[in-house]
Amino acid sequence: MYDLVIVGSGPAGLSAAVYAKRAGLNMIIIEKNPVSGGQIIDTYEVDNYLGIPGVNGFDLGMKFREHADKLGAEFVDGVVTGIECVSEGSNTKAPVFKVVTEDSSYETHTVLLATGAHHSKLGIPGEEEYIGKGVSYCATCDGAFYRGKVTAVNGGGDVAVEDAIFLARFCSKVYLIHRRDELRATKILQEELFGLDNVEVIWDSVVKEIDGEDKVTHLQIENVKNKEMKKLDVDGIFVAIGIHPSTDLFADIVELDEKGYVIAGEDCATSKAGIFVAGDSRQKRLRQIVTAVADGANAVTAVQDFLVGKEK
């Protein structure tokens, strides 16, 4: 019987592991991937994490994991297939949950969901090859690397338009590529976008291929109406066609919002007593490494408060 089972070992899960071990909690982390670190291990360079400017994303993920290992955190390889409530608990007695994996199960008094989120991809040639070398899914994370350069944003919703507006502050030129002849973004965002001199919208078009050498140099774009192809020279492309929290598995046990994010405040407590959430899968304004790490700390503090005074 564990005090805490953490599902996922990205920045939120690893931060939680550090705080849980320091608090003396009996805990484990279950991770489905062969390497801890979450999305950051695919990031070529992280320049906005306080005190470690310009660090390679994989290296930062390894530092997080090493910290948890140094404190003796126990890691289990496995894919979580469900969470069952064995006992609801009460004001004086802690609940009991069973976290089920493909080949085992673990009983615990509390669970922390740190499963993160994943960006929708274009699924075109060159995309995987140039991730971190001109292909990005987060303008606020990586935009500063393109100061004075030419970039493209793929998408037509609020996020895509917000990314284009953000990039226009320091990029010499920003192309917004959209497959339709009108944007889905809110009117106020569109008005701001169309007022920018260094932004050009390429309508009725899709990116068919991302090309380069050591890094992205150009895109192959197709007009969906006349099927004409053209080459667009850019230094980078930001894909903004959607992000999806990895929470489908938990929809029947905790409350999700309309986009699938787990509803929880700064204490990271979900609608189900004893289950907490941290990181990109939580409903919040900003999803960055620093906010995920903060969530991990807040969640474990809430777990400790939850367990105080309860019979185990």
Statement: 2-118+243-308 belongs to CATH 3.20.20.80? no
Angle between helices 187-194 and 158-168 (to 10 degrees): 30
pTM of the model: 0.78
pLDDT at 43 over 80: no
What's the mean pLDDT in 202-230? 97
Annotated catalytic residues are 138, 141-142
Q: Which CATH architecture has domain 121-239?
A: 3-Layer(bba) Sandwich (3.50)
Which residue, chain included where needed, has tokens 């994370």? 141
What residues does 221 pair with on adjacent strands?
Answer: 207, 230
Average pLDDT estimate for 38-49: 81
* % of the chain residues with pLDDT over 90: 88
Say whether pLDDT at 42 is over 80: no
Select from 300, 306, 272, 278 the least CA-distant residue to 87: 272
User: Per-residue pLDDT for 234 more than 80?
Assistant: yes
Which two three-digit tokens encode residue 101?
Answer: 């994996």
Question: Could you tell me where in the chain the CATH 3.50.50.60 domains are found?
Answer: 2-118+243-308, 121-239
Say how many CA atoms lie within 13 Å of 227 toward its Cβ. 0
